[in-house]
Amino acid sequence: MTLVYQSTRDANNTTTASRAILQGLATDGGLFTPISYPQVELDFAKLKDASYQEVAKLILSAFLDDFTDQELDDCIAHAYDNKFDTPNIAPLIKLDGQYNLELFHGSTIAFKDMALSILPHLLTTAAKKHGLENKIVILTATSGDTGKAAMAGFADVPGTEIIVFYPKDGVSKVQELQMTTQTGDNTHVVAIEGNFDDAQTNVKQMFNNAVLRKKLAEHKLQFSSANSMNIGRLVPQIVYYVYAYAQLVKTDQIRAGEAVNFSVPTGNFGNILAAYYAKRIGLPVGKLICASNENNVLTDFFKTHIYDKKRCFKVTSSPSMDILVSSNLERLIFHLLGNNAEKTAELMTNLKKYGQYELTNFDSEMLALFAAEYATEVETAAEIKRVYETSNYIEDPHTAVASAVYQKYRTKTGDDTKTVVVSTASPYKFPVVAVEAVTGQTGLSDFEALAQLHNLTGVSIPAAVDGIETAEVRHKMIVAADQMQAAVEKDLGL
Ligand SMILES: *Cc1c(COP(=O)(O)O)cnc(C)c1O
């Protein structure tokens, strides 16, 4: 039987995996979400020796079950190849008192590559499967990393165009250059005067704009999303949780069946939700630790069950987590309410209307799987230094948030279950913060810091940032947040 993906806001809006990937976001504004879980045999005696690609095949064929074996094999082979700088794809590193799962070995040195290297292939495969003739337009709001990773995945993929919006002052210099120097005739990058939430809200509005959709169709175009709202982003992220667990078994750190905690630096709630799905198919997960930076709306939510976005937006050293509206939380809310679309839609309406909602009558056992804490800017920098001193290893600021929060959690609860800190970016992506935290030096440029980081770690400068300072800037458009649709129409010649 084919797995059903249902909109979180309408019980009658159901579809299959490949169609959900094509559509991106449901037209009712909801997110396509599995309403039951596939049977997956997680036999770690076997999985401990499986390659990343083999684990990917196991998970993808279970969740994306209307793709053929051949289609998935092709997608996996195109995605997890030598774009990654290590054959392990996602190495697990043992540090003092924790394990760091490095998800930053792809082309943009951040974890978005894990899913965005496969999404273009899933999307074009799904289009072919369904005889779609329209060109697919990927519309993406990014807080820094998604945009670049999506463009790296989609650049010059036939039958696609990609338009990326980022907050002009909300990303690091390296992140900005990574985007504005992007090559590929089908790539478009637009800076907006506003923050990530402005960008994301306007992108969502464009998706739900029936007039705009009609106009696109007249030009043989249709939108899809590379944001983590797309189920084609979420499912490939389940893979590395299973893979990491298998590595722990393989290296005798745990017995098969022993629970493991994951501390996840969280923004849009996609990464940690994938861990939740891994748990649902039988991965022995203890706690899912939801780690936030000073934009701690999720910490408050898990503690009070009230989601309240009416607060100051802070620009922090972990910009990919500078988010006040965590889109993927809607999927967990839906599950917490017993897959109730009507109630979920009501809460999302409250969020839009009043800037908040309160979760009531939920599955408290499910919610108790999660622990939540946040790390301040000072705590994050201190954690980078602590880990360097104890393990001679430099974490990027996002990873350091998860690492600091894990330390807090452990101190507070005494829970000494083995814990994996999900490491979402290379320190080379945020070199100034990393070097400043370790050495106390201030006023370094990004490029001076890159060289310093190399001296401190001995790790060579990744190709993703090497030479970026002098690369040609190809994208220079800046618009007001309310002019995003006009920019799209211009880019597409509508
Ligand atoms: C996107 C991102 C996150 C947040 O992940 P979500 O799935 O949005 O919660 C954390 N760290 C880095 C480096 C990222 O790029």
**pLDDT computed for residue 28 by the predictor:** 92
Atom in ligand 1 nearest the alpha carbon of residue 323: 8
**pLDDT computed for residue 469 by the predictor:** 84
Ranges of the chain whose pLDDT falls below 70: none
Atom in ligand 1 nearest the alpha carbon of residue 265: 10
Q: From the CA of 226, how far away is ligand 1's center (Å)?
A: 14
Q: From the CA of 298, how far away is ligand 1's center (Å)?
A: 14
**Backbone phi, psi, residue 423, to 5°:** -105, 110
**pLDDT computed for residue 390 by the predictor:** 97
Pocket of ligand 1 (CB under 6 A): 110-112, 145, 228, 265-271, 320-321, 398, 424-425
Q: From the CA of 132, how far away is ligand 1's center (Å)?
A: 31
d(CA 288, CA 420): 10
Question: In a mutational test of the pocket of ligand 1, which residue from 146, 271, 322, 326 has the highest number of ligand atoms less than 8 Å from its CB?
Answer: 271
Q: From the CA of 214, how far away is ligand 1's center (Å)?
A: 33
Q: From the CA of 435, how far away is ligand 1's center (Å)?
A: 21
Residue nearest to atom 8 of ligand 1 (CA): 268
Q: From the CA of 447, how far away is ligand 1's center (Å)?
A: 23
Atom in ligand 1 nearest the alpha carbon of residue 274: 7
> Are 460 and 105 spatial neighbours (Cβ–Cβ below 8 Å)?
no
Which residues face 212 on adjacent strands?
none
Q: How far is CA 209 from CA 29, 331, 387, 484, in A?
A: 10, 22, 48, 13
pTM of the model: 0.92
**pLDDT computed for residue 95 by the predictor:** 98
Atom in ligand 1 nearest the alpha carbon of residue 112: 15
Q: From the CA of 266, how far away is ligand 1's center (Å)?
A: 6
Sign of the C-alpha dihedral computed for residues 310, 314, 315 and 318 taken in this order: negative
Q: From the CA of 110, how far away is ligand 1's center (Å)?
A: 8
Residue nearest to atom 2 of ligand 1 (CA): 320
Q: From the CA of 165, how far away is ligand 1's center (Å)?
A: 16
Domains recognised in the chain with CATH numbers: 92-109+231-457 (3.40.50.1100), 135-219+463-493 (3.40.50.1100)
Atom in ligand 1 nearest the alpha carbon of residue 145: 15
Question: In a mutational test of the pocket of ligand 1, which residue from 241, 398, 401 has the highest number of ligand atoms less than 8 Å from its CB?
Answer: 398
Q: From the CA of 321, how far away is ligand 1's center (Å)?
A: 6
Question: In a mutational test of the pocket of ligand 1, which residue from 112, 231, 320 has the highest number of ligand atoms less than 8 Å from its CB?
Answer: 320
Atom in ligand 1 nearest the alpha carbon of residue 228: 7
Atom in ligand 1 nearest the alpha carbon of residue 398: 11
Atom in ligand 1 nearest the alpha carbon of residue 273: 7
**pLDDT computed for residue 120 by the predictor:** 92
Sign of the C-alpha dihedral computed for residues 361, 364, 370 and 376 taken in this order: positive
- CB within 8 A of 158, min separation 6: which ones? 124
Residue the block writes with tokens 């053929």: 68
Q: From the CA of 395, how far away is ligand 1's center (Å)?
A: 14
Q: From the CA of 129, how far away is ligand 1's center (Å)?
A: 31
Question: In a mutational test of the pocket of ligand 1, which residue from 148, 268, 290, 403 has the highest number of ligand atoms less than 8 Å from its CB?
Answer: 268
**pLDDT tens-digit readout, 49-95:** 999 999 999 999 999 999 999 999 999 999 999 999 999 999 999 99
Atom in ligand 1 nearest the alpha carbon of residue 429: 13
